[in-house]
Structure 1
Amino acid sequence: MTSSRRIALWGGIAYLVTFAAAIPALPLLEPVTDHPDYVLGAGSDNRVVLGGLLEVVAALAGVATAVILYPVIRRVSRTCALGFLSSRVVEAGILIAGAISVLTVVTLRQDLGDDAPAGLVTVAQALIDVREWTFLLGPGLFPAINAGFLGIALYRAGLVPRILPLVGFVGAPFLVGKTLAVAFGAFDELSTAAVLLALPIAAWELGLGLWLTVKGFRPPRLSTNPDH
């Protein structure tokens, strides 16, 4: 297996891990995210902790996509390679902060138990609100930035079918629009409209992960200047 094929394989697997970890994390966290009074009584602590850890795994897998693909993307554009890596790192930090806020609710419940004051629900709600904003600004904004940096490099060099980055380019403004709409209260994060607007960017990332895993990179179609 060539170095380029190995990079594509592991980069694709890292993309798929982000989906495999992030999707089941949402229902696992619902006992806390949907019920602030969780902090006052018995709850499914192990379930919530697993959900929080899966969000951390998804965040780290996102960073891994940029780290693994960096040597190939750098040959096309150093700016795109560094931009993609930086964006992934910031996105991961936001996601991990959200996971920590939910796990803190679990710790508060365990530490105080039945003796917890009723006012603790306000604290739990504040932590849940933090998680809602991190979820909105992390997966709701940075995939659009990632699509810009990575998509430009892949499209310029023809390293994957150009329909893939084109889907990312189309999906990026839809995702940003969805995030702004949710932030200003036009509709809910998990509403049908929000899900539909997020589908193109999800298709871009899932399609890229599958292509890199199964097919790998295509030979570059043109000479590139890595200084730009």
Structure 2
Amino acid sequence: MKKIARVTGALFLVATGAYMIGNGLLDPILHRPDVLAGLYPDRTNVMAGLFLELINALAVVGIAMLLYPILKKYNDAFALGYFGSRIIESALLILSLIGPLVLIGLSKSYIGAGASSGTYFQTIGNLVVEAHFKCFEMAMIVLSLGSLLFCYILYRSRLVPRFLSVIGFIGYAALLASSCLTIIGQDIGPVLYIPGAIFEIVLPIWLMVKGFHLRTEES
């Protein structure tokens, strides 16, 4: 059980680190006013960012597979809900990566075509960028809903200290609010990501050092 806890904690850190670095490479490029003009020349950074975000998506599946057998002992329905939400999240994250891949080819064609077809390419490029970000926010909504179930199980089972579960509740509720607002066009920035980020750093460290507390199961 300690080994499972350590691997799970490591996967949480891998997912968080890969996403943060990958997003740091990719996001500034996709937010440029004229994204198509600079994306193809920066394709190395784009591909590196996509690769890291793919690692994040795959790590999410690993987390779900490792946690399900443990969580289902305390609440089978909620454990299955969490497992399903992380699989759907991973699928949406992978789907969101298609957009930047398309943009690489579109940027190359845009640069080669010159000003004559600029508006046409820019319109398509803007739609692809918008689809990429919307798909990501949908993944975050699914993650938030599933992780609220996860935190409920942690709170009731005391697998980890309850203060961690409370931080998780706050973090994922804030993430859910942020993603829903962004979907409807009310982006308030990354401030609501902070509590969830704290949870996804503190929890894996706790798991790697202390593991799960199985008093409920043993009693």
In structure 2, the residue matched to 1:35 is 32
TM norm structure 2: 0.88
Contact 2:92 2:135 in 1 (8 A): yes
What is the alpha-carbon distance in structure 2 between the residues aligned to residue 5 and residue 222 of structure 1? 15
What is the alpha-carbon distance in structure 1 between the residues aligned to residue 5 and residue 108 of structure 2? 43
In structure 2, the residue matched to 1:162 is 162
Q: Greater shift after overlay, 175-184 or 159-168?
A: 175-184
Q: Which segments of 5 or more consecutive residues in structure 1 lack a partner in the other structure?
A: none
What letter is aligned with 1:67? M
In structure 1, the residue matched to 2:135 is 134
Match of 1:14 among 11, 14, 17: 11
Q: Greater shift after overlay, 154-163 or 109-118?
A: 109-118
Match of 1:216 among 196, 211, 215: 211
Equivalent residue of 1:75, what SS? coil
In structure 2, the residue matched to 1:25 is 22
Instruction: Write out aligned runs for 1:87-102 (5 A).
Output: 87-102=85-100
Question: Which string of whole-angstrom CA distances, capped at 9 and with x for unpartnered residues, describes residues 5-64 of structure 1?
Answer: 111011111111111110011221135412364434652111101111111111111111
Equivalent residue of 2:176, what SS? helix
Contact 2:64 2:82 in 1 (8 A): yes
Match of 2:197 among 195, 202, 210: 202
Equivalent residue of 1:221, what SS? helix
Contact 1:147 1:165 in 2 (8 A): no
Question: Which string of whole-angstrom CA distances, capped at 9 and with x for unpartnered residues, describes residues 134-179 of structure 1?
Answer: 222223x233223222112222221111111111122233222222
Deviation at 1:111, TM superposition (A): 5.8
Q: Greater shift after overlay, 8-17 or 107-116?
A: 107-116
What is the alpha-carbon distance in structure 1 between the residues aligned to residue 4 and residue 48 of structure 2? 29
Question: Which string of whole-angstrom CA distances, capped at 9 and with x for unpartnered residues, describes residues 183-227 of structure 1?
Answer: 333334xx2xxx222211222222211111121111233679xxx
Contact 2:25 2:45 in 1 (8 A): yes
Contact 1:31 1:43 in 2 (8 A): no
Contact 1:32 1:105 in 2 (8 A): no
What is the alpha-carbon distance in structure 2 between the residues aligned to residue 182 and residue 95 of structure 1? 16
> Aligned-pair RMSD on alpha carbons?
2.2
In structure 2, the residue matched to 1:58 is 56
What is the alpha-carbon distance in structure 1 between the residues aligned to residue 33 and residue 130 of structure 2? 10
**Aligned length in residues:** 215
Q: Greater shift after overlay, 155-164 or 109-118?
A: 109-118
What is the alpha-carbon distance in structure 2 between the residues aligned to residue 205 and residue 142 of structure 1? 16
Q: Does 1:104 align with 2:102?
A: yes
What is the alpha-carbon distance in structure 2 between the residues aligned to residue 27 and residue 103 of structure 1? 17
Sequence identity percentage: 28
